[in-house]
Chain A
Amino acid sequence: MSAATAATDIVETPLRRFINQFLEDRIAVAGLIVFVAIVVLAVLAPLYTPQNPYDLARVDLMDSRQPPGAKSLDGFTMWLGSDGVGRDLFSAIFYGLRISLAVGAISCLIAASVGMTVGLIAAYAGGRVEAIIMRLVDLQLSLPSVLVALILVALFGKGVDKIILALVLVQWAYYARTVRGSALVERGKDYVEAARCLGLSNARIVFRHILPNCLAPVIVVATVQTAHAIALEATLSFLGVGLPQTEPSLGVLISNGFQYMMSGKYWISTFPGLALLITIVSINLVGDRLRDVLNPRLEK
Chain B
Amino acid sequence: MLAFILRRTGQGLLVVAAMVVLVFFGVHVLGDPVWILVSPEMTQTQIEEVARALGVDRPIHEQFLIFLKGLTQGDLGRSFVHGSPAIGLILERMPATLELAFVALMMAIVIGIPLGLFAGLKPDHPLARAIMAVSILGFSLPTFWVGLMLIMVFAVMLGWLPATGRGPVGHIFGIETSLLSLEGWRFILLPALNLALLKISLVIRLARAGTREVALLDYVKFARAKGLSPGRIVGVHILKNILIPIITVLGLEFGSLVAFSIVTETIFSWPGMGRLLLEAIQRLDRPVIVAYVIVVVCLFVVINLIVDILYSLVDPRVRLSEAKA
Interface residues of A (CB under 8 A from B): 139, 142-144, 146-147, 150-151, 153-155, 157, 227, 231, 234-235, 238-241, 254, 258, 261-262, 264, 266, 269-270, 273, 276-277, 280-281, 284
Interface centre among A147, A239, A262 (most CB of B within 10 A): A147
Once the chains bind, are B149 and A241 in contact (CB under 8 Å)?
A: no
User: In the complex, which residue of chain B has the Cβ closest to the Cβ of A230?
Assistant: B142
- Does B141 sit at the interface, judged by CB under 8 A? yes
Once the chains bind, are A270 and B29 in contact (CB under 8 Å)?
A: no
Shortest Cβ distance from A44 into chain B, in angstroms?
25
Once the chains bind, are B151 and A155 in contact (CB under 8 Å)?
A: no
Shortest Cβ distance from A28 into chain B, in angstroms?
12
Once the chains bind, are A264 and B156 in contact (CB under 8 Å)?
A: yes
- What CA separation (Å) do A239 and B266 show in the bound complex? 8
Once the chains bind, are B282 and A240 in contact (CB under 8 Å)?
A: yes
Once the chains bind, are B144 and A150 in contact (CB under 8 Å)?
A: no
User: In the complex, which residue of chain B has the Cβ closest to the Cβ of A280?
Assistant: B140
- Does B230 sit at the interface, judged by CB under 8 A? no
Q: Name the A residues within 8 Å of B278 (CB-CB).
A: 150, 239-241
Using A146-B262, A261-B156 as known contacts, say yes or no to A269 and B296 having CB atoms under 8 A apart. no
User: In the complex, which residue of chain B has the Cβ closest to the Cβ of A269?
Assistant: B148
8 Å CB contact of B144 from A144, A154, A254: A254
Q: A-B contact count, CB below 8 Å?
A: 100
User: In the complex, which residue of chain B has the Cβ closest to the Cβ of A284?
Assistant: B140
Once the chains bind, are A273 and B31 in contact (CB under 8 Å)?
A: no
- What CA separation (Å) do A254 and B281 show in the bound complex? 21
- What CA separation (Å) do A235 and B156 show in the bound complex? 22
- What CA separation (Å) do A299 and B229 show in the bound complex? 40
User: In the complex, which residue of chain B has the Cβ closest to the Cβ of A273?
Assistant: B145
- Does B181 sit at the interface, judged by CB under 8 A? no
Once the chains bind, are A153 and B281 in contact (CB under 8 Å)?
A: yes
Once the chains bind, are A266 and B152 in contact (CB under 8 Å)?
A: yes
Once the chains bind, are A273 and B139 in contact (CB under 8 Å)?
A: no
Q: 10 shortest A-B CB distances, which residue pairs?
A: A144-B259, A147-B259, A273-B145, A154-B281, A144-B256, A155-B26, A281-B140, A280-B140, A238-B144, A231-B142
Using A142-B304, A241-B281 as known contacts, say yes or no to A270 and B27 having CB atoms under 8 A apart. no
Interface centre among A142, A146, A151, A261 (most CB of B within 10 A): A151
- Does B30 sit at the interface, judged by CB under 8 A? yes
- What CA separation (Å) do A262 and B267 show in the bound complex? 12
- What CA separation (Å) do A270 and B145 show in the bound complex? 8
Interface string of B42-58 (1 = CB under 8 A from A): 00000000000000000
Q: Name the B residues within 8 Å of A231 (CB-CB).
A: 142
Query: Among residues 97 to 142 in chain B, which have CB atoms less than 8 Å away from a CB atom of chain A?
Result: 136-137, 139-142
- What CA separation (Å) do A295 and B313 show in the bound complex? 33
